[in-house]
């Protein structure tokens, strides 16, 4: 199984594309496009099946990480202004990115309207040979993401001791 993409709800498509490209370094595959609620096309019927009748329309953009994972941004016409993480509900609550420019991404996150949610943490502070760091950040719309300095395998696997 391979990861294909993740879909993220945002409050302003232009700001979101600016944030995800300039702060996080993603590349635009398909820029901001408008999707209208309709039943005449396959994409229209699929959107009604997913979002239900009455969503009216949305803007969408497709971005790509350096390792080929898609990030699909949705700006719904009728939406709440701010995402609130409800840890009482089951479901996905964050995504994670890995970078060689850990501090730079953190700086650009705040520069482009995001937030740092915690102090930087080392997973194994007792072992100087293990330098894996992480931090929770959020985009300008409150979507949580975790930033890693090392790969998932290096962070958690005992093979990398």
| pLDDT of 130 higher than 80 | no
Q: Rounded mean pLDDT of 130-155?
A: 92
From CA 18, how far away is CA 103, in angstroms rounded?
19
Residue 84: the pLDDT is 67
156 contacts: CB under 8 Å, gap ≥ 6: 123
The pLDDT tens digits for 45-97 are 999 999 888 888 999 999 999 999 999 999 998 776 656 667 788 888 899 99
The pLDDT tens digits for 8-45 are 999 999 999 999 999 999 999 999 999 999 999 998 89
Structure tokens at 68: 């080929």
Residues in the chain: 161
Domains and CATH numbers, the chain: 5-160 (3.10.180.10)
Q: Rounded mean pLDDT of 92-120?
A: 95
């Amino acid at each position: 199984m391979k990861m294909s993409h993740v879909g993220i709800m945002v409050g302003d498509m232009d700001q979101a594309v600016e944030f995800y490209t300039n702060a996080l370094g993603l590349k635009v595959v398909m820029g901001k496009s408008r999707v209208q609620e309709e039943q005449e096309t396959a994409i229209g019927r699929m959107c009604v099946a997913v979002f239900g009748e009455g969503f009216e329309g949305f803007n969408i953009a497709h971005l790509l990480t350096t390792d080929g994972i898609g990030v699909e941004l949705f700006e719904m016409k009728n939406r709440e202004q701010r995402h609130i993480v409800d840890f009482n509900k089951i479901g996905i609550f964050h995504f994670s990115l890995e970078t060689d420019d850990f501090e730079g991404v953190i700086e650009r996150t705040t520069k482009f309207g995001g937030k740092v949610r915690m102090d930087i943490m080392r997973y194994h502070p007792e072992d100087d040979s293990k330098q894996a760091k992480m931090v929770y950040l959020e985009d300008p719309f409150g979507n949580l993401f975790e930033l890693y300095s090392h790969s998932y395998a290096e962070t958690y696997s005992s093979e990398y001791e």
